[in-house]
Amino acid sequence: MPPNPRRDLLPGTLDMLVLKTLSVQPMHGYAIARHIQRLSQDVFRIEEGSLYPALQRMRQKGWVRAEWRQTPNNQRARYYTITTTGRKQLGAQSAGFDDLVAAIGRVMRTV
Amino acid sequence: MGVTLGADMREWIARVVDWFRRDRLDAELDEELRFHRQHLERDATAEGSGDATSAAKRQLGNLTRTVEDARERWSIPRLDHLQQDVRYALRGLRRSPGFAFGVIATLALGIGANAAMFGVVDRLMFRPYPMLRDPDTAHRIYLQRMARNDQRTESWMEYTRYLDLQRATTTFEKFAAFFPMNQAVGVGDAARERPVAAVSATYFDLFDAPPALGRYFTPDEDRTPMGATVVVLSHGFWQSEFGGQDMLGRTIQVDNLPYTIIGVAPEGFTGITDGSPRALFYPITTYAGSRPGRDATEYFTTYNWGWTSAIGRRKPGVSVEQASADLTNAYLQSWNHQRERSPNMTPPDVAKPRGIAGPIREAAGPDPALEDQTALWVTGVAAIVLLIACANVANLFLGRVLRRRREVALRLALGVSRSRLAAQSLTESLVLSLIGCGAGLVIAQWGGSVLSSLFLPEGAEFNLLTDGRTLAVAVAAALFAAVLTGVAPAVLSTRADMASTLKAGAREGTYHRSRTRTALLVAQGALSVVLLVGAGLFVRSLDHVSSMRIGFDAEHILFVRRELRGLALSDTQRIALHRKLLETAQSIPGVERAAFVSSVPFRSTSTTDLYVEGIDSVHRLGQFTYQTATTDYFPTMGTRILRGRGFSPEDREGAPRVAVVSEGMANVLWPGQESIGKCMRVNADTMPCTTVVGIAEDAVQNSLTSTQWFRYYLPIEQYRPAGGYALMLRTRGDPALHAETVRKALQEVMPGQSYVAAQPLRELIDDRQRSWRMGATMFVAFGGLAVVVAAIGLYAVIGYNVAQRMHEMGVRIALGARSPDVVKLIVGQGVGFAVAGVICGGVLAWIGARYVQPLLFRQSATDPLVFALVAAVLVLVAGMASIVPALRAARADPNSTLRAE
């Protein structure tokens, strides 16, 4: 099977994907990137250039918390945890996203 | 909208917090990216792609850009600039500590003076009472009327009047009455006079203050003619007296009755009081109903006894004007009601009764005491001190800008923008102002204890450093000072002409006279003049009032009042007790003479009807007060008998009635005639003649400012043998030293729970002289401060000018000018500034004079002597401030000057 072609993220969806990922369990940045890549079956590759600035922004907005912990391999890594505000934000964004997809789908089917 | 705003706000706070720890965040980001990269490489190797590292590098993208993008989250360029500017300012201060010290000290004095005075005035006038609900709708009730062509404003009324107003008004939701006083609390040795308050049951509803324990009293317990004997303790008293034990249901003796404790007010509840916190509260009708005599049964139906203070709360939607109009109308009805009973009362169209819903704090009310008005003036003075301080600091800054012209030009040439330079200059003022603010608050707290004892009632809390309102004012004053001192230098520094400055090289050949600096100097001088004139006027007032002959010798007199505390004594018993007290007092070593009296100056006066042949209505001539006293009264008080005689032991009951009258009274009753031998009838025109046997010097009664000194003296045995309540004792040396001995000796004579209290008479007079002492102290302190600051400013400017003109001076000397000529030139310049300041300040003071006139004591506000003296002082100070730089100029060396040419 040929690998899926890479696609760019829709603008503004990175936050949502990161929050969704973190709602499973706290993770460090690299794990977040891998998780999204794996679940999207390699469609999305999260560039660090966008991931880390986004994480800092979400931390300042109070959607995620960051703390240094030991990885299972005993390395120091910064783990991100979703906050209550973050969960609310995720709810709002995914609802908006569903509406968006449905709207696009309707247009695409009719025309 | 609110939610977004909140979220934005939160994000910004987080950003600012991150800005402060940006170094750590940078390091953490680096570590995080290192971690990411390691794992990327490891996974790439595991997946077996050819060149793992390069793939990882490719994947990692542009590392630098990632770091930059993330960093943007915690970089705030404006804060960076601010930080740089603050650092630059602090570095500059370290480089010139003398300059920094001068600026900070000057601003600290200015800001400190304002913080302290605000602390005072705020407590006197503005601060709402603790726990008072909705302070804007609660008003003290003031009553105004015309009496002998004078408008009188009173904040107390008869209880009957209070009931009338309550009944006849419609715009008030609730009325509350209160009467603060000192009363004996406790029994036996533990009994002490304490501040207490008799209040209406509605009083507590004014506050949001649920009782800490038990309950407050109900309207049922506060009813005429006599309320219940229940009492609510204040939290502080409960703690200090009973250690916070459950005292509900127990009794406590207050004045002449035992009261049941039913509740404890919450911590911090003070009620409405300016002075010491009240120890306890009990029903106002219980107080009135337990008075001796007819007051107890008549206080709520007659208008003989005015004592009640009233608070009213406006109904919602009613304006203050409407409430006052309503009160006026109710007062008028009440007035007419009273007139039905006493037809000879002034008719309302003459008396013009008027009610006012005013501020609860009397100092902010329609008739503030002299002290309060003076406090407001002194606050204005503090503001002027701050202005002078700012002018001075601005001048110091300007001087430095001039000195730093080359540095500024260089920085401009190197591409620093002018707005950054201005921001830097303002930041520097701000840093200095804020440091000055901190130092000023310390000064304010330190000096505040003095102010507090001068202006505020005893027992008032005064801690500025923990008080948000004062801190806010201090910071506002600092910001104001920063702008005032920073703007001119900022503007000047950005106007620097770089080319010419850089070209001019090291030697600044020409001398720049700065018009701004001159103006600032003259302004400082002028404001100093205003303050000094004020100081002079108040000092002279104080001098007048303290050197005024008040008609007795207060320094050596101890007065002792006896308090029966409800003890019922027959006239015979009273007479016996008073006689015993007098005899005991006379036998105390250190007491030279003693007299028993019925009134004490500044505490009480008595009046009664007086009839004199040939005069229709003595009453109309003014107020005649009387004193009844035992034989030794005049020698005890030191009141001089001008003609005739004082009292003698023969003037006893049954003997022909005699009186001594004051000179002022004799002159108004019998102008141009010999008054000795005249007949007065006291109480009623059917009474037998009371013959005038002596003329005494005029003596002060209730007020130092009164212009009427009509007083007559009657032997106590002839007038009302069982009357009187106080002893006047002439002591050897300081009466305060004898107070305790006297109290102990006399206490032994007192039966039951009755007691005596002794106090030097001087203290009562000191209270009355307070406003002038306050004015004199504060104007002198602030005026002196202003002059010192202005003198330093002048010294700095002249010194700078001289430094600039050293070359010119050298040339002058080389051309034959002698040292005295040079000194004269420089000193003349300094004195010129002073003269300009004196003229401007003199005009200002002259204009302000009529406003301050009512606060002075027998002193014209435009006294030429004061103005002349102030002018002389200022010129002298200016001369002294310029003499040092002048001498330096005179030492200019013509040789080096010419060689340098």
Q: What is the pLDDT of residues A69-106, one digit of tens each?
A: 988 888 889 999 999 999 999 999 888 888 888 898 89
Looking at beta carbons, which residues of chain A come within 8 Å of B29? Answer: 52, 56
User: CB–CB of A52 and B18 under 8 A?
Assistant: no
Please give the biggest Cα pair distance in chain A.
56
Instruction: Pick the closest to residue B212 from B131, B273, B313 (CA basis).
Output: B131
Query: Which of B43, B60, B64, B69 should one mutate to test binding to chain A, selecting the residue with the greatest count of A CBs within 10 A?
Result: B69
How close is the nearest chain B Cα to the Cα of A67, in Å? Answer: 10
A45, A52, A60 member nearest B33 (Cβ): A52
User: CB–CB of B66 and A62 under 8 A?
Assistant: no
Q: Does A6 touch chain B (CB under 8 A)?
A: no
Helices (H), B367-467: 370-403, 405-413, 418-455
Residues of B with CB under 8 A from a CB of A: 7, 10-11, 14-15, 18, 28-29, 31-33, 35-36, 39-40, 43, 59-62, 65-66, 69-70, 72-74
Q: What is the CA radius of gyration of chain B?
A: 37
Contact B848, B529 (CB under 8 A): no
Numbers of helices and strands, H then E, in chain B:
27, 23
What is the Cα–Cα distance from B437 to B476, expressed in whole angstroms?
A: 9
Q: Which residues contact A68 (CB under 8 A, 6 or more apart)?
A: A76, A77, A78, A79, B28
Query: Which of A32, A35, A47, A48 should one mutate to test binding to chain B, selecting the residue with the greatest count of B CBs within 10 A?
Result: A48
User: CB–CB of B74 and A56 under 8 A?
Assistant: yes
Asked whether residue B341 falls in the same domain as residue B389, the answer is no
Asked whether residue B36 falls in the same domain as residue B166, the answer is no
Contact B478, B472 (CB under 8 A): no
Strand partners, B557: B730
pLDDT of residue B143: 94
Q: Is residue B82 part of a domain?
A: no
Q: Is residue B118 part of a domain?
A: no
What is the Cα–Cα distance from B901 to B899, expressed in whole angstroms?
A: 5
Nearest CA in chain B to A49: B66
Asked whether residue B254 falls in the same domain as residue B280, the answer is yes
- Residue carrying structure tokens 């006291």: B682
Instruction: Pick the closest to residue B467 from B865, B28, B120, B871 (CA basis).
Output: B120
Coil, strand or helix: which one is B130? coil
Asked whether residue B888 falls in the same domain as residue B808, the answer is yes
Q: Is residue B106 part of a domain?
A: no
Contact B581, B749 (CB under 8 A): yes
User: CB–CB of B69 and A47 under 8 A?
Assistant: no
Phi, psi of B367 (to 5 degrees): -135, 70
> Containing domain of residue B803, as a range?
371-505+514-546+768-900
- Classify strands B625-629 and B711-715 as parallel, antiparallel or unpaired: parallel
B11, B66, B72 member nearest A49 (Cβ): B66
Helices (H), B96-205: 97-121, 159-168
Tokens of B624: 């005649």
B36, B62, B73 member nearest A56 (Cβ): B73
Asked whether residue B31 falls in the same domain as residue B58, the answer is yes
What is the Cα–Cα distance from A61 to B728, expressed in whole angstroms?
A: 78
- DSSP 8-state code for residue B86: H
Nearest CA in chain A to B38: A30
Q: Looking at the predicted structure, is the pLDDT value of residue A35 above 70?
A: yes
Where does a domain end: B725, B745, B767? B767
How close is the nearest chain A Cα to the Cα of B264, in Å? Answer: 45
Contact B405, B504 (CB under 8 A): no
Contact B41, B56 (CB under 8 A): yes
pLDDT of residue B341: 85
Secondary element (H or E) of residue B562: strand B557-563
What is the Cα–Cα distance from B611 to B686, expressed in whole angstroms?
A: 9
Question: What count of other Cβ atoms lies within 10 Å of the Cβ of residue B690?
Answer: 23
Asked whether residue B644 falls in the same domain as residue B594, the answer is yes
Classify domain A13-110 by CATH architecture.
Answer: Orthogonal Bundle (1.10)
Question: Is the preceding peptide bond at A26 cis, omega within 30 degrees of 0?
Answer: no
What is the Cα–Cα distance from B772 to B705, expressed in whole angstroms?
A: 12
Asked whether residue B536 falls in the same domain as residue B637, the answer is no
Distances in Å between the Cα of B102 and the Cα atoms of B71, B99, B106, B436, B525 are: 41, 5, 6, 10, 18
Coil, strand or helix: which one is A76? strand
SS3 sequence, B306-374?
Answer: EEEEEEEEECCCCCHHHHHHHHHHHHHHHHHHHHHHCCCCCCHHHHCCEEEEECCCHHHCCCCCHHHHH
- Classify strands B251-254 and B679-682 as parallel, antiparallel or unpaired: unpaired
Asked whether residue B169 falls in the same domain as residue B67, the answer is no
Asked whether residue B466 falls in the same domain as residue B498, the answer is yes
What is the Cα–Cα distance from B750 to B598, expressed in whole angstroms?
A: 18
Tokens of B714: 């009657």
Nearest CA in chain B to A77: B32
Looking at beta carbons, which residues of chain B come within 8 Å of A53? Answer: 66, 69-70, 72-73
What is the Cα–Cα distance from B804 to A23, expressed in whole angstroms?
A: 74
Asked whether residue B772 falls in the same domain as residue B762, the answer is no
How close is the nearest chain B Cα to the Cα of A77, in Å? Answer: 7
Q: Is residue B112 part of a domain?
A: no
User: CB–CB of A48 and B74 under 8 A?
Assistant: no
- Residue carrying structure tokens 């409405």: B272
pLDDT of residue B248: 92
User: CB–CB of B35 and A77 under 8 A?
Assistant: yes
- DSSP 8-state code for residue B125: I
Judged on CB neighbours under 10 Å (0-12, 13-18, 19+), B886 is buried
Asked whether residue B496 falls in the same domain as residue B377, the answer is yes
Contact B721, B527 (CB under 8 A): no
Looking at beta carbons, which residues of chain B come within 8 Å of A29? Answer: 32, 35-36
SS3 sequence, B672-686?
Answer: CCCCCCCEEEECCCC
Please tell me the number of Cα atoms within 13 Å of B646 on its side-chain side.
Answer: 18
pLDDT of residue B397: 82
Nearest CA in chain A to B68: A53
How close is the nearest chain B Cα to the Cα of A68, in Å? Answer: 9
Nearest CA in chain A to B43: A34
Contact B699, B550 (CB under 8 A): yes
Looking at beta carbons, which residues of chain B come within 8 Å of A88? Answer: none
Q: Is residue B458 part of a domain?
A: yes
Q: Is residue B335 part of a domain?
A: yes
Q: Is residue B403 part of a domain?
A: yes
One DSSP character per residue, A23-45 reads: HHS-EEHHHHHHHHHHHTTTS--
The amino acid that residue B582 corresponds to is L
Instruction: Pick the closest to residue B233 from B218, B254, B219, B207 (CA basis).
Output: B254
Q: Is residue B757 part of a domain?
A: yes
pLDDT of residue B64: 73
Asked whether residue B257 falls in the same domain as residue B167, the answer is yes
Which residues, numbered 26 to 85 in chain A, qualify as contacts with chain B under a Cβ-Cβ cut-off of 8 Å? 28-30, 33-34, 45, 47-49, 52-53, 56-57, 59-62, 68, 75-78
Report pTM: 0.74
User: CB–CB of B66 and A53 under 8 A?
Assistant: yes
pLDDT of residue B506: 45
End-to-end CA, chain B: 73
What is the Cα–Cα distance from B526 to B706, expressed in whole angstroms?
A: 35
Query: Which of A52, A65, A74 should one mutate to test binding to chain B, selecting the residue with the greatest count of B CBs within 10 A?
Result: A52
Residue spans of chain B under pLDDT 70: 1-5, 48-62, 274, 459, 493-513, 900-901
Contact B100, B93 (CB under 8 A): yes
User: CB–CB of B69 and A52 under 8 A?
Assistant: yes
End-to-end CA, chain A: 32
- Residue carrying structure tokens 């013009």: B352
Looking at beta carbons, which residues of chain A come within 8 Å of B60? Answer: 48
What is the Cα–Cα distance from B844 to B866, expressed in whole angstroms?
A: 14
Domain count within chain B: 4
Q: Which residues contact B717 (CB under 8 A, 6 or more apart)?
A: B630, B651, B652, B653
User: CB–CB of A60 and B59 under 8 A?
Assistant: no
